[in-house]
Amino acid sequence: MKITSSKTVKNPRVRECFDLGWKFFKGEVAGGELPDFADANWRDLDLPHDWSIEGPFRQAPGSATSAHLPTGIGWYRKYFRVPKSYALKTVVIEFDGVYQNSEVWINGHYLGKRPYGYIGFHYNLSPYLNFGGGNVIAVKVDNSLQPNCRWYSGSGIYRHTWLLVTNRVHVSYWGTFVTTPEISGKSAVVRSVTEIRNDTKSNAYCVLTTMLLDMDGKIVQTSKQIGEITTGQEQELVQEIKINSPHLWSPEDPYLYVLRTEVKRGPGLMDVHETPFGIRTAVFDADKGFLLNGKQVKLHGVCLHHEAGAVGAAVPERVWERRLQLLKEMGCNSIRTSHNPYAPEFMDLCDKMGFLVMDEIFDEWKEAKPQTPDFGYRLYFDEWAEKDVIDFVHRDRNHPSVILWSAGNEVVDQVAPAGPQTLKKLIDIFHREDPTRLVTVGCDRIVGEPEAVSQEFLDLLDVVGYNYVDRWRERWELYYSIDRHAYPQRKFIGTENGSMGGIRGDYSWLFPTATGLTSRNSHDKWTDFQQMWKFVRVNDYVAGDYMWTGIDYLGECRWPAKGNTAGILDTCGFKKDSYYFCQSQWTDKPMVHLLPHWNWQGKEGEVIPVLCYTNCDCVELFVNGRSMGVQGYWFPRYGMQGHYENHLPRNNAPRTTLDLFLRWTVPYQSGVLKAVGYKDGKAIVIEEIATTGEPAAISLTADRVELTAGCLDVAHVTVTIGDEQGKVVPVADNEITFEIQGPGKIIGLDNGNPVSHEDFNGNRRKTFNGMCLAVIQSTFEAGKITLAASSPGLKSSSLTIINSNRCNQATALYSCVNYTKQLKRK
């Protein structure tokens, strides 16, 4: 996935990471914006920074939305020098996200405020800088109005900051828009709209050269155009470039081109700007659902939230990359950025890794939600919504991964008299800023609701987003069907539905009578999800579905829980059983997964259920070598159209429901539970789980043993507790103490337990159902990092990670050179 350039052009544009060397104070201060304010006692830190995740957890009224973590006000300041030569340039500071209500000053001059904490924004610093001298930037962050968000937001400058330096004649900020109006197998037309800005005192005659580079950096096609840019103005230049045999972008083959824009004024090169893009068609169709490059693709979607457990809202790129890799392995091909804009690097990962994105901007419009009665986005909607949508679309519209905009989620405006008017205003902005993509809203008031969304509202949507059709479980035929008949031209998508969620390693739901659970919290809930998924799969007109959620998240909980366990991965990114259910439905590589674990001390002889998720035709189960029989599926699993309910079992087997999983009841016997999966009559996959002995030893494994020094890389170290033979003990909860040496630090410890109130920081963590996680970040010196883990009564373990001096493409978001330069300046 490497994009290089065929010729090296000295780029007059410089974009430096601005994250290092900030001062921080938690609380309100008077005069914090003044250049000579005494901040020597403030804490030194590097961005991104989320002060909420530093804790402690404390139960307080309303604090459940923010995971019972602190919010409040914080101040940041940074001193920096700019060279004299920058006096002739345009210098811009970029913030990828500050939660929330940020206000920014440079050398005491007020630059502005930005209420929405999820939006990226920038300010022109040029008029106020001391060129050749020192400067101070001050940022006030006010997250004190609570609750203002229905989930954990984090607090602070929690995304990256950048300093962008360009010539006075340059490509405007977010100033390119690449579309592909015509694509056939043989050729494609790439249309680029380039906005050039002229900050000089005279009109500028410019030559714009636009080059299309393939993934090897080779120039495929070039186009030139001349334009006169009026002083103090911007001007758009439009070019259409035809290329032969385009390499199409898709989740299986996420091929990216680069549009390189060069601007010359006379002989002088003014700017070079690169925009990665992909060539693909993305069409929503009333009958066929969703088509990518002309082929029907069912969206196997998950909703996510923007934070990542132990690291809070300040998520290193590698944390997302690992999470997305896990989702990809599960067969997920689509992400809904519920319910707000995500970090730019997340969007880049989706392009590079091949995910289809429903890019969502708001959870609230003009009407308050019950969880945010006073301080939600509605406070800012009238003044800021248009600007936020424009910036959101301009930032994300070149991503091939983005296939659909979502203007909102379950907004109360659905049922408000002015709702259609508000929706129309938003949709018009989306269409104006990006005429190539459709717009949806996640609606939860469509059918069967006492207070239903108006027809006028739904008619305005390009694609109608249905949230929680699975809740009509007693009348399952309502799943979309009534509306399909009533509105045959409607385009349908399941914007949000339940999943199987639950707590990793917890099987109380499987034994409802023993644990006092009612059947509704037991496996029936999963059955709803399965029935709904089955429906989506066999009905072409539903584009796909997004389960709530792909990963557990912080907030939206009730004390003592600090987070929500709807995910199929826990907050550590560890797989729950439901992960394998989805994998069995969404992938073809033969797999078998058994549950529960096989450590039921005291249950010898008791008849217990054993469940199996598989994509094999059938599976034979053995307990200590004795066959418990073969179970299989009775109807075609993929590509089936029409009414599956007419497909009766092929024999008289006692299966009455058309489950998407297999189930046996077996007398529990400690030892080994084994499943053999068959496809086309051949045994092709075996899964075994065994009863273990007592906890005896710690084991550490890292997802990467070499990190890139100075590039904010991370390693995820999985800690498991094994018995004497090294088998993972599924119920172990031993507390681990960590010690780290060398150029690395622990930036988060977690175990996925939703009711644990242990610090995410520090050096101790209990394991939860046999596992916990340490996230290790490199510092700037190359060398060896050693992580040691110990616990009373257990054999200790340690692991070495090399912090190299290499900056590789995977982490090339940051330039080592820039970091090193900043480090020297510090």
CB of 7 to ligand GAL, least distance (A): 48
* CB-neighbour burial class of residue 131 (10 A; exposed 0-12, middle 13-18, buried 19+): middle
Contact indicator for 204, 198 with CB cutoff of 8 Å: yes
**How many Cβ atoms sit within 10 Å of the Cβ of residue 383?**
10
**How many Cβ atoms sit within 10 Å of the Cβ of residue 651?**
8
Binders in 788-807 for ligand GAL, by CB under 6 A? none
Contacts of 381 (CB under 8 A, 6+ apart): 364, 365, 366
**Site track 37-76 with ligand GAL (rule: CB under 6 A), x = hit:** ----------------------------------------
Looking at the Cβ atoms of 102 and 409, the one nearer to ligand GAL is 409
142 sits near ligand GAL (criterion: CB under 6 A)? no
DSSP 139-158: EEEEE-SS--SSS----BS-
571 sits near ligand GAL (criterion: CB under 6 A)? no
Contact indicator for 761, 55 with CB cutoff of 8 Å: yes
CB of 578 to ligand GAL, least distance (A): 15
Binders in 202-221 for ligand GAL, by CB under 6 A? none
Question: Secondary structure of 170-198 in the HEC alphabet?
Answer: EEEEEEEEEEEEEECCCEEEEEEEEEEEE
409 sits near ligand GAL (criterion: CB under 6 A)? yes
Could you tell me which of 680, 688, 505, 659 has the C-alpha nearest to residue 593? 688
Catalytic residue among 410, 433, 556, 687: 410
Q: How many residues does the chain have?
A: 826
Binders in 339-378 for ligand GAL, by CB under 6 A? 339
Which two tokens mark 53? 């995740």
CA gap 232, 201 in Å, rounded: 7
Among 94, 271, 388, 410, the residue binding ligand GAL under the rule CB under 6 A is: 410
CB of 150 to ligand GAL, least distance (A): 6
556 sits near ligand GAL (criterion: CB under 6 A)? yes
Please, what is the Cα angle at 194 between 189 and 196, to 5 degrees? 160
Work out the end-to-end distance of the chain between its first and last CA atoms, rounded to an integer number of angstroms. 34
Among 173, 457, 548, 819, the residue binding ligand GAL under the rule CB under 6 A is: 548
Which two tokens mark 785? 């990092």
Binders in 489-508 for ligand GAL, by CB under 6 A? 496
Looking at the Cβ atoms of 39 and 410, the one nearer to ligand GAL is 410
Please, what is the Cα angle at 65 between 60 and 69, to 5 degrees? 55
Looking at the Cβ atoms of 494 and 710, the one nearer to ligand GAL is 494
CB of 492 to ligand GAL, least distance (A): 18
Looking at the Cβ atoms of 33 and 552, the one nearer to ligand GAL is 552
CA gap 506, 753 in Å, rounded: 10
Looking at the Cβ atoms of 359 and 444, the one nearer to ligand GAL is 444
Binders in 450-489 for ligand GAL, by CB under 6 A? 467
Binders in 667-706 for ligand GAL, by CB under 6 A? none
659 sits near ligand GAL (criterion: CB under 6 A)? no
Looking at the Cβ atoms of 156 and 442, the one nearer to ligand GAL is 442
Contact indicator for 135, 30 with CB cutoff of 8 Å: no
Q: List the alpha helices (DSSP H) in 204-258.
A: none
CB of 149 to ligand GAL, least distance (A): 10
CB of 94 to ligand GAL, least distance (A): 29
Examine the residue annotation and report whether 383 is marked as an active-site residue of this protein.
Answer: no
Contact indicator for 441, 423 with CB cutoff of 8 Å: yes
Binders in 729-768 for ligand GAL, by CB under 6 A? none
**Which residue of the chain is nearest ligand GAL when measured via CB?**
410
Looking at the Cβ atoms of 55 and 465, the one nearer to ligand GAL is 465
Examine the residue annotation and report whether 496 is marked as an active-site residue of this protein.
Answer: yes
Contacts of 351 (CB under 8 A, 6+ apart): 249, 254, 256, 276, 278, 399, 400, 401
Looking at the Cβ atoms of 555 and 743, the one nearer to ligand GAL is 555
CB of 60 to ligand GAL, least distance (A): 20
CB of 427 to ligand GAL, least distance (A): 20
Could you tell me which of 713, 727, 719 has the C-alpha nearest to residue 787? 719
Which two tokens mark 795? 């054999």
Q: How many residues bind ligand GAL (CB under 6 A)?
A: 9
Looking at the Cβ atoms of 249 and 468, the one nearer to ligand GAL is 468
Element counts in the chain: helices (H) and strands (E): 10, 46
Catalytic residue among 307, 321, 364, 496: 496
In the sheet with 257-265, reading across from the earlier edge strand, the strands are 219-229, 204-213, 257-265, 268-277
CB of 670 to ligand GAL, least distance (A): 38
Point out the residues that are catalytic. Answer: 410, 496
Contact footprint for ligand GAL (CB under 6 A): 150, 339, 409-410, 444, 467, 496, 548, 556
